[in-house]
Structure formats: C-alpha cells, structure tokens
Amino acid sequence: MSNIEKNETAHLNNTTRLTGAEILWATLVGEGVHEVFGYPGGAILPAYDALRKFPIRHTLVRHEQGAAHMADGYARASGKVGVAIATSGPGATNLVTGIATAMLDSIPMVCITGQVSSKVLGSDAFQEVDITGITMPVTKHNFLVTRPEDIAPAIRAAFQIAQSGRRGPVLVDITKDAQQNSAIFDFEAAKPKPYQPHPMLTVADKSLHAAADLIRTAKRPVILAGHGIMQSNAGEQVRTLAERMQIPVGTTLLGLGSFPASHPLNLGMMGMHGESWVNDAIQQADLLIACGMRFDDRVIGTPATYAPNAKKIHIEIDPAEINKNIKADVALVGDLRQVLEQLLPLLPSRDGAAWLNAIAASKGTAAVRDIKNLPDSGHLYAAHVMHDLWRITEGRAIVATDVGQHQMWEAQYYRHDYPRTLITSGGLGTMGFALPAGIGAKVACPDREVWVIAGDGGFQMTASELSTIAQEKLNVNIAIINNGYLGMVRQWQEFFYEKNYESTPLVSPDFVKLADAHGIPGLAVRTRADLEAAVQTARSHPGAFLLNFLVEQEDSVYPMIPAGAALHEMIRRPDYPAGHNPLLERPEDK
C-alpha cells in the first residue's frame, strides 16, 4: 500500500511505509539522482510503475547495452555516479558488456536489475538468470535483494562502493516481490558505515621522503599522467609538480585532458599509438612518476624492456596495481591528490632545461609527420577531420569516441586541454560505446557541445540509439569516420597478416538516410574543402546532426608499437617518394 501521490516526495520522512519499488526511487532521489537510463520488462515493472511519483528523468534506451554505456558516459562527463536499469534475464545480460567496460576503466556506476520473485529463485523461472553470479568478475560488488527493507541499505551501499577508493560499477538485483511488498523507508538509517580505506592506504613518511629524494636528484624524469588524475581531481597538483620541477608529462589515452595538451611541458600520448618522442623519453628516463595510471600493456609494450634505466614512483589508490605490470621502486598508495599534497612541500624548484631540450631535439622530423597537414589532394583523411573538429570547436567539446583507428586519430589530433572532454573505452575497447556514451554525456552536461565520433563498424553496433536521441530531442552531433573497413583490424592484417583482408571490408547503410529515417538531418563529406562548412552546419542546427565523413580507406595509424615489442621499436609512417611527400604543411595549418 503506497503512501505517496504523484510527484509528491517532499513529505517522505523516516517513518513512511512505502513499497519496495517506491523505496528504490526514493533512495535514488536521496542520493541525488535525477537521471537514469533504462528499459522496462516484467521483473522490473513494479519499479517502473512507481517511477511517475518521483522527480527522476528516465531515458528510454533501445538496447540495455546502451543504458549501461549512457550511465557510463554520464559518469565520465560529470564525475557523478551513472545509473542504468534493466529487467531480469535478457535485460540484465544485455548490460554485461557495458558493466565490463565501466569496470576496466574504473567508472562509478550503479546498475539496477529486476529479478524473478524470491520464491521461485533458482527454479529456472521465466527470464531468470543469476546476474549477480554473471557480473561478479566485472563489478566492484553486487547485491541480490529479496526484501523491501533491504533495498535502501543496498542502494546506499552501492553508491558508496561505486564512488570510494578506486571507483567502479556496482549491481543491485532486486526481486519482484521485494519491489511489490512494503516496508518502512528510513533514508538516514540506511546510511552505510563511513568508508574505511584499506589500512595500506596511508602513505608512510619514509616512502614520501624516498620519492622526494628520487625526484630531486633525477636528471631525466617523466611524469606519466593517467585517468586517476581526473578521478582524484588532482590536475592542479600534478601541474604544480610538473611546473615547479620542470618535468615533462606524457599522458595515457584515458589521461588525455588531465594535463592541458597545449601546456609546454605536455609531450602528448604515450604507448602503442603515442608520439615517438614520448615513448623515447620514457625509454631514456631515469625516473618515472606514475600518477593514477596502471601501466596497461598498450602503454608499456614489453615489460622486460620498459624504461630500463628508470626508477619508478607509482602513486596509485589500488594496492593491487602496485607491482602488477611494472615493479615500483617507491609505491605511494593512496589518493593521488592527497599524496601530492603531502609530497609537494618536500620539493624545491629544479632546472630541467637540459632534459627538456634533449626531448625537443629528439622530435626531429617526427613532429612534422602530421597527416593533418596533408595538402588537399581531393582525399579526406580521418586526421583532417579530427584536427579541424578540434580547431572549429576550440577544443571545448565533449568528444565520445568509439574503438578503432578513428579513436587513435582523435587521441592524436583532437587536443584535449580540459578534463572530462574525452569519453572513450580504453581498457575493454568496446565497439558500440560512442553513441550511447555521448548521449549519456549530453544528458549529464546539456549545455555542452557533444560530438560522437564513431567508425562505420562500431556505429552500427548501437545505431539503434539514434531513436533515443530523437525521442529525447538531444542535440548530439555525430561524426562517422567511414573508411569502408573495420579499419583497426584491417591495419593489423596489413602489417601482420600479409594484407589478408579477411572479413574486414564493410558494407554499410547510407548513414545520412539512416539518420533521416530517425528525423535527424545529415550530410556526407568527401573532401577537406567541404569539411568546415559541414561541421558548422551541424553545430548551428538546434538538434542532433550526423556527418558521414568518407575518408581514405586504407590509411593506417602511425606510429605503432607492434604488440609485444619494446616502446622504442615503433613502426613509423612510410617515407614518400620525392615530390609526393604528403607531409607538407599548408600555411593555414601552422
């Protein structure tokens, strides 16, 4: 029996008797949730029935994977917890890819699934799956709730777990009878005990001083700027460290934006498709200061040959990351911002000119290899698109990318000066991520310009979410980098499988017509000359707009470290015969 009427939640107090379904929404409201992404079904229907009574905007997705990626994109753009909702069975399993995507990148997210009634649990009831079992390895934690009185404590614990320490996704599976039955709702009483960091998460003075000694005496130090900088809100502290000690900074893919791209100390992205001079600097360094990054294999190449002469200081919140991929000489386990606040007073300023000059000299011709500077030969290169999009949007857009070559070109040519402006699946590399993640980002930041950049392959994995954009009337701009291939796989086939382009050429629908079928206008762009006008048309259109960029089909992402090679063993863009060098600069690019 419900005690609340439509949209009347103000009178809820700690002795109100509510249905479990109402408790669910009331708890979410109490946690500050105003937007959720979901898809209904039988086992979650009591919750949907109660939704109209609460001040929560529900975005109806077209596939539950979309709900998870939207919640993820919402979290990455805002720093808040994203919420996704699905029914039992197939609804819940459709979330799994999105949950794993969030897990690998430590994104705070709460997924709520309906479950069959507690009395039939374990009987292979209609649409029953053991979703807590299935998601155990890809969640930070999960709950199965069978009683209405347990809903508020589980949801509140889920929010605390998702946001504390190393962030991540949490799933709460709630049986249908728990949603239907009633209990006293007491938001305050459901509060979890204060988060207790692991005892290891206090930095010992000894290790702080050891780190300070290494930094003071290093001749060739490099800061490795990772995703943890944004999660710890430590951009300012990292910048102080870099500027005061004149230490160059390389960033990971997920660290892009954590340290301004235009800052003179920023070298650019490291790793498999990073800049050669960044990787060379790391290989020659005598000290690496890892700030909230986890030495992913895309970043280190072969561990045995990684930065052989460097001592490593690893500042990291999760003790499990210490010595996992790379041995740390000094481990500072804790929140990055707090650790740096303790470390900075121990560090006087330092002159880094010799090392900075050496790195600048090492750039050589690599710095002008940019294909963004290709003369207009009538061909359109993906790098043109990224570079011009960056220029036209003044680097201020939130960009959600998919996975593949276009993702790497975006990382190389869209220069991120601001945190939380790049939303991309790094760890799992989930194709189909961009469109729903971009939708989530737009819902989180309605006043920001949002661009979805997807490949022709990945876009088709979640293209059904165009309907969500139409229904929700969201102003999201979409750029499809259409190369007619599963490009990143084709590139690997070109380099390592003797150009056997098995199953990578891709026939796609006419994306402009596809958008049109959803009431979304669009344009095809074939030349760089048409690029700017098309982008401006998209930007000035009040609603969503799709641009289908028909780019050079067999271009590859350079440089590239082949999997398993050392960081300095990069494959470089091939030289071109005299007179055909496409690396010439156009005056307007300078």
Ligand X SMILES: Cc1ncc(C[n+]2csc(CCOP(=O)(O)OP(=O)(O)O)c2C)c(N)n1
E runs forming strands in 471-514: 476-482
Q: Quick one: which of 336, 463, 520, 531 contacts ligand FAD (CB under 6 A)? A: 336
| Residues 364 and 394: beta-carbon distance below 8 Å | no
Give yes or no for residue 73 binding ligand FAD (CB under 6 A): no
145-178 burial code (b ≥16 CB/10 A, e <16): bbebbbbbbbbbbbbbbbbbbbbbbbbbbbbbbb
Q: Provide the minimum distance between the beta carbon of 508 and ligand X in the complex, in angstroms, as a whole number.
A: 9
| Neighbouring residues of 587: CB distance < 8 A, sequence distance ≥ 6 | none
The piece of 181-189, 248-256, 364-372, 487-495 that touches ligand X (CB under 6 A) is 487-495
Q: How far is CA 176 from CA 72, 159, 496, in A?
A: 26, 21, 52
DSSP letter assigned to residue 581 = -
Residue 484 DSSP class? S
Among 152, 272, 331, 386, binds ligand FAD (CB under 6 A): 272
Per partner kind, with CB cut-offs from 5 to 8 A, the member of Mg ion, ligand X, ligand FAD, none near residue 431 is ligand X
Comparison of 27 and 405: residue with beta carbon closer to ligand X: 405
Residue corresponding to tokens 């570079």 = 387
When the beta carbons of 232 and 424 are compared against Mg ion, the nearer one is 424
Count residues contacting ligand X (CB under 6 A)?
Answer: 19
Q: Return contacts of 143-146, CB within 8 angstroms, 24+ apart.
A: 143/170, 143/171, 143/172, 143/173, 144/115, 144/173, 144/175, 145/172, 145/173, 145/174, 145/175, 145/178, 146/118, 146/121, 146/175, 146/177, 146/178
Considering only 40, 404, 419, 522, the residue that binds ligand X (CB under 6 A) is 404
Report if residue 115 touches ligand X, rule: CB under 6 A: no
Q: Which is nearer to ligand FAD, 4 or 400 (CB)?
A: 400
- Name beta bridge partners: 524: 548
In 10 A of CB 34, how many CB atoms?
13
Give me the catalytic one of 8, 119, 126, 495: 126
459 is catalytic: no
64 catalytic per annotation: yes
CB of 406 to Mg ion, least distance (A): 7
Torsion sign (Cα): 27, 136, 79, 383:
negative
Task: Give phi and psi for 16, each to the nearest 5.
Answer: -80, 135
406 binds ligand X (CB under 6 A): yes
Is residue 435 within 8 A of residue 463, CB to CB? The reply is yes
Q: Which stretch binds ligand X (CB under 6 A): 57-65, 302-310, 343-351, 428-436?
A: 428-436
- Residue 407 lies near Mg ion (rule: CB under 5 A): no
The smaller minimum CB distance to ligand X, of residues 207 and 407, is found at 407
Retrieve residue 268's tokens.
Answer: 């650019």
359 contact choice in ligand FAD, ligand X, Mg ion, none (CB below 5 to 8 Å, kind-dependent): none
**Span from 19-27, 180-188, 379-387, 423-431 in contact with ligand FAD (CB under 6 A):** 423-431
For tokens 């995703």, name the residue.
227
Closest CA to 373 of 381, 365, 361: 381
For residue 17, give the H/E element and its range.
strand 16-19
- Residue 334 touches ligand X, criterion: CB under 6 A: no
One of 22, 35, 64, 275 is an active-site residue; which one?
64
Say whether residue 410 binds ligand FAD (CB under 6 A).
no
Q: Which one is catalytic: 53, 176, 311, 312? A: 176
Q: Which of 488, 511, 545, 560 does the annotation list as catalytic?
A: 488
CA 32/CA 26 separation, integer angstroms: 10
Strand residues in 126-255 grouped as ranges (E): 141-145, 169-175, 182-185, 221-225, 249-251
Binding of ligand X at residue 98 (CB under 6 A)? no
Q: Assess 226 for contact with ligand FAD (CB under 6 A).
A: yes
- DSSP structural state of residue 567: T
Between residues 212 and 480, which has the closer beta carbon with respect to ligand X? 480
Q: Does 405 bind ligand X (CB under 6 A)?
A: yes
Least gap, CB of 493 to Mg ion (angstroms) = 13
SS3 231: helix
CA angle, residues 391, 392, 397, in degrees to nearest 5:
90
511 is catalytic: no
Q: Which stretch binds ligand X (CB under 6 A): 141-149, 336-344, 449-457, 493-501?
A: 449-457
22 near Mg ion, rule: CB under 5 A? no
For position 423 contacting ligand FAD by CB under 6 A, the verdict is: no
CB 455 to ligand FAD: min, Å: 11
Q: Which does 272 bind (CB under 5 to 8 A by kind): ligand X, ligand FAD, Mg ion, none?
A: ligand FAD
Residue 192 lies near ligand FAD (rule: CB under 6 A): no
Instruction: Single out the residue of 429, 519, 543, 582 in contact with ligand FAD (rule: CB under 6 A).
Output: 429
Binding of ligand X at residue 458 (CB under 6 A)? Answer: yes
Q: Does 456 bind Mg ion (CB under 5 A)?
A: yes
97 binds ligand FAD (CB under 6 A): no
Burial class (CB in 10 A: 0-12, 13-18, 19+), 500: exposed
395: partner contacted, choices ligand FAD, ligand X, Mg ion, none (Cβ within 5-8 A by kind): none
Residue 402 and residue 426 in contact, taking contact as beta carbons nearer than 8 Å: no
In the annotation, is 449 catalytic?
no
Tokens coding 62: 């077209």
Residue 485's identity, in one-letter code, is Y
Tokens at residue 22, please?
């109402």
Indicate if 316 belongs to the active site: no
Can residue 483 be called a binding residue for Mg ion (CB under 5 A)? Answer: yes
Applying CB under 5 A, the span of 9-17, 167-175, 482-490, 577-585 interacting with Mg ion comes to: 482-490
Catalytic residue IDs: 64, 126-127, 176, 488
> What is the contact surface with ligand FAD in residues (CB under 6 A)?
105-106, 166, 226-228, 231-232, 252-255, 269-274, 292-294, 296, 298-299, 316-318, 321, 335-336, 403, 407-408, 426-427, 429, 488
Which residues of this protein are in contact with ligand X, per CB under 6 A?
402-406, 429-431, 455-458, 481, 483, 485-489
Residues lying near Mg ion in the complex (CB under 5 A) are found at 455-457, 483, 487
